[in-house]
Structure 1
Amino acid sequence: MADRYFMRVTAGTSYDMNDQVEVPINNSTPLKISNELADIELNVRIQNYKGLPKGSSNTSPYFSTPPHDYNKDQYSIAFRFTPKKPSGTDSEGIKATDLQFGNDFDHPIRDRLPPGFNTALNIVRWWIDPGLDGDAYADSPYLYGPALSSFNVVHSGKGEFDEEKGGLWFEEGGDDHGLEERQEIGAPSDAKARMKWALKKESKEHWVWKYGKTYGVDFFNPYLDFSDFALRLPGFTLPIIKYWDGQGLRYVLRNRVTGQVYLVVLFTLYLKEDVNEDGSIKPEALEAAKKASGHIAQDDGDDAESFDEEKVLEQARRNLSTVEVDDKVETNEDDVD
């Protein structure tokens, strides 16, 4: 079924697709996005990519560079983020409790959630992002986590641009001043340790994303396979395309308190017949996507009752049994709306 579609990725500082621009996938040159809230330089990389714009490389040197080669990472959203100080504010930046990163949708998805969705979400929270929270059954579904614990890499500084590594490249830590600031508040220099540290309420109270300072962040994992539109978790595969309702997959960087949006990265599917030879989208298909109606995929007849949640969770536990997982870290109710 996946071969019937082209993927297109757009990005901007607004939910409005009219304000977004097409992202050149696996291109090392960062896409620059700016508004009154932030300046952003963005790279999006997708392994085995077959989408738009036409002629895009199907991979990036990023995926053959450690640690992404042995992690078998499938995609990356990496960007430099420089928040701007709003007029009339006397704060030095955005509190770690307030900067969120995650997914949201315009319309309900509860009627399209597949068998095993809650199991998948439990595995994600348990293994990938314990800080993730939200409501997938709401009229406007969302799953957000504090940016400080959600990003795989946080670099307190501009990081580097390396053509041989696929463009923007960030290591956990920072420049000299950034490292000094992190040490002062006890932020670990190891990525996994920082993600765990950032789940604690007192840690988020010490970290501030400072106005005028540039941070390099990278979000990646081996679990979401865009080549056949499937979520592949330990012991469990979820065929996303089968349950797609036409809405795009949207990653959002936002302020929990003000609701202001700093960055939107939108992954949208289009039927191949709705794409012109030059890679442009036919007007009617583009309008359908903007209204988040799209084309609803048909059920292929699999029996929903065949899903065995207990068996899947047990398989996930076996797959992860050799890895130390801290399930005692507490999250804070302020992390989500």
Structure 2
Amino acid sequence: MAIKLKILAGSTIDDCEAVDYQGGKPVDVNNPHFTGQVAVLLKNDEQSHPYFNDESNKGITWSIQLCGVLHDDDVDCDNLVFGNQFSHPIRQHLPWGSAMAVKFIKYLDPTLTEDLQSDTPWAFSPLCSTVERLNVSDNSDTSKMKNEQDLIIEEDISCLIHKDETSKPKCGNASARKKWFKSESRRKGLNLSKKRVAFDFAKGFINFSTLSLSFPEIGLNIGLLKHWDGQPVRFYLRNRNTGVDYAVIQFIIEDVGQDAPAQTKQLAEEKNIGTDN
């Protein structure tokens, strides 16, 4: 049986609303630090959003998109980060191959920092060097994202790069932008305050129907469900200098399905989570 997920988005873990991750309708996020919207899309084998039919999204299975204005005065391209943090330790539940997977992800994204052994394990990267699409502008309009039928963000960071900058990344080229921002010196002091930031964090290594992690490049496939400890998976847009969270997106398992491992079913029952679709 397929796994059922609930996805929430908002300003804090206690101030969230449900996200339509098949239709792509954005959710508003409003707080003193950030005003904008969040959209989440998951690829479904039976029915998928038109986003996944775009040639540029070949191989993508999920997407988290945010669009909004950062109100803080002290946010730059180095301290604006995106990633995960858990509320409780996961070190006893990490599957075999986790270290290899982290090493491979760091190969793809050298700016990733993490501590999966801590009591509140985390993994974050500077936003500008990790997301698949990034659009930054001086336009402070926070009214809405693109129509949910066309959630393709146009890559553009031209407002951040001085026209006389040497070796500047080619405009509209995400790979060049990621490579450019690998350098901490290029990120530091590059101001994002009061700017409109839109990004697409899109990946292809998770199958949400089976909750499995796959890296065919290194021959690694991990069934995550049997290692699940009952915690939600939470993504944060954060200022790592101040600790301010601008937005949070929560992935919560509502039903583990009849095909789940026995220990997973037992844990689901203890936490009053469904075991039958």
TM-score, normalised on structure 1?
0.69
Task: State the alpha-carbon separation in 1 of the partners of residues 24 and 193 from structure 2.
Answer: 27
Match of 1:110 among 54, 66, 91: 91
**Aligned twin of 2:116:** 136
Map 1:16-165 to 2 at 5 A. 16=14, 19-48=15-44, 58-68=47-57, 71-85=58-72, 91=73, 93-127=74-108, 129-157=109-137, 161-162=146-147
| Structure 1 unpaired stretches of 5+ | 50-56, 86-90, 274-284, 297-337
| 3-state secondary structure, aligned to 1:114 | coil
Q: Which residue number corresponds to residue 8 of structure 2?
A: 10
Contact 2:84 2:236 in 1 (8 A): yes
Q: Offset of 1:183 from its aligned partner? A: 4.0
Report if aligned partners of 1:76, 1:219 keep a CA contact under 8 Å in 2.
yes
Percent of pairs identical after alignment? 27
Per-residue deviation at 1:181? 3.5
1:207, CA displacement in angstroms?
2.1
Equivalent residue runs for 1:150-299 within 5 Å: 150-157=130-137, 161-162=146-147, 166-173=149-156, 179-184=158-163, 186-189=168-171, 190-211=173-194, 213-233=195-215, 234=217, 235-271=219-255, 288=271
- More displaced stretch, 106-115 vs 222-231: 222-231
Higher RCO (CA-CA < 8 Å; seq separation 6+): 2
Query: Quick check: which has more Rg, 1 or 2?
Result: 1
- Matched position secondary structure for 1:82: strand
Given residue 83 of structure 1, which amino acid in structure 2 is its aligned partner?
A: L
Runs of at least 5 residues in structure 2 that lack an aligned partner in the other structure: 258-267
Contact 1:246–1:295 (8 Å) recurs in 2:
no
1:30–1:167 Cα contact (<8 Å) kept: no
Offset of 1:168 from its aligned partner?
3.1
Contact between 2:160 and 2:190, CA under 8 Å: does it hold in 1?
no
- Deviation for aligned residue 1:180: 4.1
What secondary structure does 1:81 align onto?
strand
Amino acid at match of 1:46: L
Cα deviation code 1:146-177 (max 9, x no counterpart): 111111111113797255xx343212115xxx
1:212-231 superposed Cα distances (whole Å, 9 cap, x missing partner): x2111000011111111011
